[in-house]
Amino acid sequence: MKIWKLVVLFVVLSKQAYGQGTMLFTWHGENNYFQASFQITMDETLPGSIFNSSLWTNSIQVSSLDGLTYRASDQQPVAHIAGRFGPPLGLTYILADQATESSITVAVVPFQGAAISENSPLPNGHYAEQGFWSYEVIPEPSMVALAVLGAGALAIKKRRASKSPTLR
């Protein structure tokens, strides 16, 4: 009977863990010119929310064909970034690479589409593409730790039970 209690506890806690996680958004361009992603907290997915967490700001990253990686956290002066979840998703980024005098613009206009474009003196620096953002829920790492601890405790208990002599 005790094993069923553990199974029920595990199922309930795993459902709770997904509710506490973050969300990873990934760019899917029609020509695959750019690789882009960012993360937000679950609170920022509530209707009418504005993205303003440090997780969001520090996770914005866009890579281009020239091998440049634009990050919002690297921008000096501070990059122009804005994001909200209406729904639908709305984004505007203007990120720069001062060493190469390059810039990249990311835009999501609700009900009109999404695009990324780069302006750079580098050989592959004048590309743009349309696409879309997908997302997935990232569960909290504490859920994995809890599952590993529970499995370990169960294995130790079974091992001890099989080694202990039984009295008849």
85 vs 129: CA distance, rounded Å = 22
Strands of the 22-29 sheet, one edge to the other: 49-50, 80-85, 89-97, 102-109, 113-119, 128-138, 22-29, 35-41, 61-63, 69-71
Is there a contact between 19 and 4 (Cβ–Cβ < 8 Å)? no
The total number of structural domains in the chain stands at 1
The pLDDT tens digits for 144-160 are: 677 777 888 888 888 88
Note the pLDDT of residue 115.
94
Residue entry with tokens 């999404």: 114
Residue 44 lies in a domain: yes
Give the pLDDT of residue 168.
Answer: 55
- Residues in the chain, pLDDT under 50: 16-19
E strand segments, 7-164: 22-29, 35-41, 49-50, 61-63, 69-71, 80-85, 89-97, 102-109, 113-119, 128-138
Q: Give the pLDDT confidence score for residue 98 in this predicted structure.
A: 83
**In this structure, how many other beta carbons lie within 10 angstroms of the beta carbon of residue 60?**
25
Residue 6 covered by a domain: no
> Looking at residue 72, what is its pLDDT?
86
Nearest residue to 56 via CA among 27, 90, 87, 22? 22
164 in any annotated domain: no
Structural domain harbouring 52 = 22-156
Q: Determine, yes or no, domain membership for 1.
A: no
Q: Tell me the C-alpha distance between 82 and 124, whole Å.
A: 26
> Does 108 fall in a domain?
yes
User: Domain for residue 165, yes or no?
Assistant: no
Which amino acid does the sequence have at 12? V
| 16 domain residue, yes or no | no
- pLDDT at residue 28, as a whole number: 96
Q: Which of 21, 13, 70, 61 is nearest to 37 (CA)?
A: 61
| Structural domain includes residue 86 | yes
